[in-house]
Structure 1
Amino acid sequence: MKALILSGGHGTRLRPLTYSQQKQLIPVANKPVLFYAIEDVIEAGIHEIGIIVGPNADQVKKTVLSRDWDANIEFIYQGDPKGLAHAILVAREFLGDDDFVMYLGDNILREGIVRHLEHFKKGNFDASILLQEVPNPQQFGVVELSEDGKTIKRLIEKPKVPPSNLALVGIYFFKPVIHEAVRNIKPSWRNELEITDAIQWLIDHGYKVGWTKVTGWWKDTGKPEDILDANRLILDDIERNIKVKTNARIIGRVVVEEGTEIDENTVIKGPAIIGKNCKIRNAYIGPYTSIGDNCIIENTEIEDSVILEGCEIRNAGRILESLIGRGVKILKSDNHPRGRKLVIGDNSQLVL
């Protein structure tokens, strides 16, 4: 069994952050989104991993290789993203004739994939997909099931009138026959080779396609609000771990990494995580906040936000529901502002 994890694309819905950073590398709870996918496939016993890369290939390679993984990892250059099925074509040599899981690298699945992989193997399926009930199926690929609910009749991409509320999660299990399927489909109106078309080809040609329903939460972190939501969900599961000495008032489940300095005038209320070598002075860090490494937070209140590494935020009043890129400086020059909602690109400087 192998894994194919997708970490290409331009991430247009996350601009301006993705002008300078690959979207799968944006951290959630201080860990790149891509790492959650890698951890899931290793947990499932898969140790041969191919990672599809695109415009920021070197950035992805450097970040992934900064950790010692219990897996052999190969990077496969896709170039311009031409669809999920195209990624399988590009990875043909790596995949060989092995079964594999394809995992979109900007997805986070709380429960992992172990149960879903076991279902794929035990059912001897040619393909198996993950589904979750959603309130807005018009925005997803959706499946129409048979009357008894046991088999898949068809897959429909973003239907105006959805036949169900079961959306496709970005994780798929395949046997080698999928290679024949992707060779026999044509580009969609988006000029992309759609994985839904390839799976439909399997169904139409009598192959066995199974499905499992996700029981926990799943997030596609394609937009700023999705990053913030995923951050909340991950932080809900953390445990208290304070690795430094401080007289600050720290309430609840809070993680503080090594080298960080927090003065006695600071209040931190969890769930929250603060990275390494930060300086937090006369600040309030509220629930559902993640602060990356090497940040300075001074005379500022931050809540329900994701602050990437290397930021300097001083005298900035109250910051809420914000996603702030690497190396950003937010400095206040006059009276305290009211709370602001911010999405700021990497290496910006904002004076309030």
Structure 2
Amino acid sequence: MTSRKGLLLAGGTGSRLWPITLGISKQLLPLYDKPMIYYPLSVLMLAGIREICIITTPEDQPQFRRLLGDGSQWGLDLHYIIQPRPDGLAQAYLLAEDWLAGAPSAMVLGDNIFHGDGLARLLARADARPHGTVFGYRVRDPERYGVLGFDAAGRVTSITEKPIEPASPFAVTGLYFLDGDAPARARAVRPSNRGELEITSLLEMYLGDGLLEVETLGRGYAWLDTGTHAALLDAGNFVRTLEDRQGMQTGCPEEIAFQQGWIDTPALLAQAARFGKTDYGAYLATLAAPQGGYDQMPPGDIRSDTCL
């Protein structure tokens, strides 16, 4: 287990998904067979993080508490912080400064989906670095994102928010590993023209000081956000296809917790019984069976690497 703490940003208005998010947080919407927030939560769990802070709007926090509780069912310690208004991603570090108490952090956006064999190893590599790591992903429309610029040797030289002329096709994903100085650095971030504390401004500070590493996610990885109606449907279909084809769950907190040793077999079976009338509950029960679960995986295969 790492000493790093996790931040899961689940605030915002979800205005691009109106009217379906007028009455519910975007991160509580179903993504095929699970709430959307299960998927980014699983990313933090794959990184070995057990202390996680959920940052929500005042209106939505009771629903998140009802869904996730205190996290003990997964061997987690969940904390909740209110975001009074969405003033930019870097604001999360200011809101969580006291809770972080100087600890390094990994922040994931609540509408981001990651999938790929070996993901847990990439996360472990990022966790081992002393300062900062972000993840780059090649996209068709980089102008919609924070974009990475590289020199001839492949070193990152710039991070630009929604550029008119992107320096590369590589976008910065919504997953950020930063050291314990992140809140202090975030206090120095000035609002952008959009009136927000941009995460790219914070990352540029680390880059300028030579303290930022970039992991690029190659062809074997998928990074999806769910900011539009079409993207939400595409992500749900992606998860459905994976699960139907492989017969394994994606974004499954119980599975990761069981593999990490954070919950035991009785606890896993209790969760299976809770969801007993669903395919999800039946799947959890197979994980505890001697003839199922990990005994059925090929040698060297780590199931949690493809659990997202």
Q: The TM-score by the shorter chain falls in which range? A: 0.7 to 0.9
One-letter amino acid of the counterpart of residue 106, structure 2: V
Shift of 1:120: 2.0
Corresponding residue number in structure 2 for 1:69: 74
Of 156, 159, 164, which residue of structure 2 is paired with 1:155?
159
Corresponding residue number in structure 1 for 2:242: 237
Corresponding residue number in structure 1 for 2:205: 201
Structure 1 runs of 4+ with >6 Å offset: 273-276
Corresponding residue number in structure 2 for 1:188: 192
Corresponding residue number in structure 2 for 1:80: 85
Of 44, 50, 54, which residue of structure 2 is paired with 1:51?
54
Instruction: Report the Cα distance in structure 1 between the residues aligned to 2:119 and 2:35, rounded to whole angstroms.
Output: 18
- Write the deviation string for residues 76-131 of structure 1: whole angstroms up to 9, x where unpaired: 11110111111110000111111110000111101385233222244x34111011
Corresponding residue number in structure 2 for 1:28: 31
One-letter amino acid of the counterpart of residue 39, structure 1: S
Call closer, same or farther: CA 1:180–1:207 in 2, change over 3 Å.
farther
Corresponding residue number in structure 1 for 2:294: none
Unaligned residue ranges in structure 2 (runs of 5+): 248-274, 283-308
Of 91, 96, 107, which residue of structure 2 is paired with 1:91?
96
Instruction: Please tell me whether the aligned partners of residues 42 and 70 of structure 1 are also in contact (alpha carbons under 8 angstroms).
Output: no
Corresponding residue number in structure 1 for 2:107: 102
Instruction: Report the Cα distance in structure 2 between the residues aligned to 1:258 and 1:71, rounded to whole angstroms.
Output: 22
Instruction: Report the Cα distance in structure 2 between the residues aligned to 1:88 and 1:172, rounded to whole angstroms.
Output: 11
Q: How many residues align?
A: 246
Instruction: Report the Cα distance in structure 1 between the residues aligned to 2:81 and 2:70, rounded to whole angstroms.
Output: 18
Computing the radius of gyration over CA atoms, which structure comes out larger, 1 or 2?
Answer: 1
Name the one with the larger strand percent: 1
Instruction: Report the Cα distance in structure 2 between the residues aligned to 1:44 and 1:85, rounded to whole angstroms.
Output: 21
Corresponding residue number in structure 1 for 2:266: none
Corresponding residue number in structure 2 for 1:165: 169
Shift of 1:69: 2.3
Please say which of residues 34-43 and 23-32 is displaced more in the overlay.
Answer: 34-43
- Write the deviation string for residues 255-288 of structure 1: whole angstroms up to 9, x where unpaired: xx8658xxxxxxxxxxxx8999xxxxxxxxxxxx
**1:42 maps onto 2:45 in alignment:** yes
- Write the deviation string for residues 126-158 of structure 1: whole angstroms up to 9, x where unpaired: 111011000111111101112201x32111111
How much is the aligned-residue C-alpha RMSD, in angstroms?
A: 2.3
Instruction: Report the Cα distance in structure 2 between the residues aligned to 1:258 and 1:4, rounded to whole angstroms.
Output: 31
One-letter amino acid of the counterpart of residue 61, structure 2: A
Instruction: Please tell me whether the aligned partners of residues 142 and 165 of structure 1 are also in contact (alpha carbons under 8 angstroms).
Output: yes
Instruction: Please tell me whether the aligned partners of residues 185 and 201 of structure 1 are also in contact (alpha carbons under 8 angstroms).
Output: no
> Secondary structure at 1:238's aligned position in 2?
helix
Unaligned residue ranges in structure 1 (runs of 5+): 242-256, 261-272, 277-352
Instruction: Report the Cα distance in structure 1 between the residues aligned to 2:81 and 2:205, rounded to whole angstroms.
Output: 25
Of 132, 136, 141, which residue of structure 1 is paired with 2:137?
132
Of 114, 120, 124, which residue of structure 1 is paired with 2:120?
114
Shift of 1:211: 0.7
One-letter amino acid of the counterpart of residue 23, structure 1: K
Instruction: Please tell me whether the aligned partners of residues 129 and 210 of structure 1 are also in contact (alpha carbons under 8 angstroms).
Output: yes
Corresponding residue number in structure 1 for 2:147: 142
Instruction: Report the Cα distance in structure 2 between the residues aligned to 1:63 and 1:192, rounded to whole angstroms.
Output: 29
- Using CA pairs below 8 Å that are at least 6 residues apart, which structure has the higher relative contact order? 2
Instruction: Report the Cα distance in structure 2 between the residues aligned to 1:37 and 1:274, rounded to whole angstroms.
Output: 18
Call closer, same or farther: CA 1:22–1:175 in 2, change over 3 Å.
same
Query: Normalization by structure 2: what TM-score?
Result: 0.74
Instruction: Report the Cα distance in structure 2 between the residues aligned to 1:178 and 1:207, rounded to whole angstroms.
Output: 15
Instruction: Please tell me whether the aligned partners of residues 46 and 123 of structure 2 are also in contact (alpha carbons under 8 angstroms).
Output: no
> Secondary structure at 2:40's aligned position in 1?
helix
Query: Normalization by structure 1: what TM-score?
Result: 0.66
One-letter amino acid of the counterpart of residue 237, structure 1: L
Call closer, same or farther: CA 1:184–1:274 in 2, change over 3 Å.
closer
Instruction: Please tell me whether the aligned partners of residues 132 and 214 of structure 1 are also in contact (alpha carbons under 8 angstroms).
Output: yes
Call closer, same or farther: CA 1:50–1:10 in 2, change over 3 Å.
same
Instruction: Please tell me whether the aligned partners of residues 144 and 152 of structure 1 are also in contact (alpha carbons under 8 angstroms).
Output: yes
**1:60 maps onto 2:64 in alignment:** yes
Instruction: Report the Cα distance in structure 2 between the residues aligned to 1:57 and 1:173, rounded to whole angstroms.
Output: 25
One-letter amino acid of the counterpart of residue 123, structure 2: L
> Secondary structure at 1:18's aligned position in 2?
coil
Instruction: Report the Cα distance in structure 2 between the residues aligned to 1:119 and 1:60, rounded to whole angstroms.
Output: 30
Instruction: Report the Cα distance in structure 2 between the residues aligned to 1:28 and 1:135, rounded to whole angstroms.
Output: 23
Call closer, same or farther: CA 1:66–1:26 in 2, change over 3 Å.
farther
